[in-house]
Amino acid sequence: MFEEPTQKELSQIPKIGVVRKTKQTERIIHLRFSIGNCEWLVAGYDSKDKFYGFVDYHQIISKPKWETFSFVELKGKQINGIGVELDPYWKPVKFSERPIDLNEVELPTLTLSCGKCKKKHVVSLNLAFAHFVVYGATTPCCGKTGWFKDQETVDHIMALINSK
């Protein structure tokens, strides 16, 4: 079920024309909608159907960009029967200060044992999202991608990312 923003939330979002005149990094993101790893960050609102914000499909459909999008169309989007969700925990924040997107982070390399040849290899990490973070690594000897999501490995990877 699609949860809609309240009238109070909508009334606090500036008009699209005002937002477009503001430097991109200074724009306030008032709402966040997402589905899978696609997200719509709302900075402006005009009428009952027009939002303006940063739309990021993570290269699935197009490159991230600032654009106007329809509220009605957004409500109708689905992936595998799951619809777009309004982030209930989102707090208004400057675009430049929004929470980091792990797709924008250069991931470190790790030394891992290959599941096929049992040798240790230095591997580059890949990143995928569902409802949780899953990391993967491709070994150079067999090209096999191994995905892992155990908490110890994820904690280790996050510590490496945060140390950069």
Give per-residue pLDDT as tens, 54-77: 998 865 566 788 999 998 888 888
Query: What does the alpha-carbon distance between residue 1 and residue 142 come to, in Å, rounded to a whole number?
Result: 43
Residue with tokens 């995905």: 147
Tell me what percent of the residues of the chain surpass a pLDDT of 90.
Answer: 31
- Asked if 94 and 111 sit in the same domain, the reply is no
Q: What is the pTM of this model?
A: 0.61
- Asked whether residue 1 is assigned to any structural domain, the reply reads no
Check whether residue 71 and residue 140 sit in a common domain. no
Return the biggest CA–CA distance within the chain.
Answer: 60
Q: Are residues 93 and 65 in the same domain?
A: yes
Residue where a domain stops, chosen among 75, 99, 123 = 99
33, amino acid identity = F
Domain containing residue 114? 104-162
The better pLDDT of the pair 150, 81 is held by 81
Report the alpha-carbon distance of residue 45 to residue 16 in Å, rounded: 6
Between these two residues, 142 and 93, which has the higher pLDDT value?
93
Domain boundary among 81, 99, 117: 99
Domain closes at, from 49, 66, 99: 99
Looking at the structure, tell me whether residues 25 and 87 fall in a common domain: yes
